[in-house]
Structure 1
Amino acid sequence: MSLSASLSAWLLVLLCAVSGAYCLSRVRTSEREARGGAAGEALMAFGMAVMAAPPGIGPWGPGILLAVFCGAALHALWLLRGGVHHAHHLVGSLAMAYMALTMADGRGHGSGSGGGLPLVTGALLLYFAGYVLLGGARLVTAGGGAQQVAGGPPVKAAELTRACRLAMGMGMLAMLLSL
């Protein structure tokens, strides 16, 4: 793995870990109904951070990641009983399980051997590209707010949540592109 690829992998790890930490803080401060979604997003962000780490780092392997994301997919299915707005968690969990499966085959994670099924990878790339474009448009059109962050413009908690989701969507795109 080249230095630039390693650096970009570690930057993705950092982005996902910071998103996960923010989602965990939302779990602590959210109403009971919103905690499940925030916990799912935290799990996804930390899982993405682990998966984005350069190969050979840490004690986890593709099998462990596959089990974790299959469990996350089952949790997302459970959340679907509360409304279709949780479908994105299901798609994200299944996408991560798919990437872990390609890693288990030895073809994923930037191996350059064209891991994964082109149709599935392409469909996931289209989904997450649309998600990122829509999320970016929503973030840009979001208006003023109540909080001040480090002397900058006011920011609402909803805008930070959108930015976190946007960052995870971009991370998902980056990982899918490396298949």
Structure 2
Amino acid sequence: MLYFSDLLQYSDVFLRGLKTTVELTVLTTILGVVLGTVCATVRQYGNLASQRVVSVYVELIRNTPFIVQLFFIFFGLPAIGMRLSPWEASMIALTINLGAYSTEIIRAGLSSISKGQIEAAKVLGLTFRQTLVRVIFTPAFEKIYPALVSQCIIVMLGSAAEVSPRILYK
């Protein structure tokens, strides 16, 4: 029979794993949401060419399994001369993945803002940047907060499951 006290001898390994998971989660959540916000803004308000580029990125990432993306980054990029550690590859893959999913979540929030509010901001003389920050982003993020947090939790689960055990045994 296994007792939890038997696992205490591995507490340093568990703590390193916890540290790695927290680091990856925090960093990729910040970077992924920023990437998603930029891409959603481009997809909603950008020119046609930039909208198509973002659409291809989002559809490509959302329609491939995460493990394939991770393998492509870790094993594929060295073929073109980019050597990455397992931690770096995990961080890049998680950021790109969260960026694509959060793009769609944030775009849905941006789409929920009525045209009347945007027109009112123009009438008040707000610049496009001021309109984005004060009129569009604030209520949009309030509406999408639950879905975005759920996606960030999925990133945390992915960071714990997908990171190579070699990181833990440095």
In the superposition, the TM-score normalised over structure 1's length comes to: 0.30
Query: Whose radius of gyration is greater, 1 or 2?
Result: 2
Higher helix share: 2
Does 1 or 2 have the higher relative contact order (CA < 8 Å, sep 6+)?
A: 2
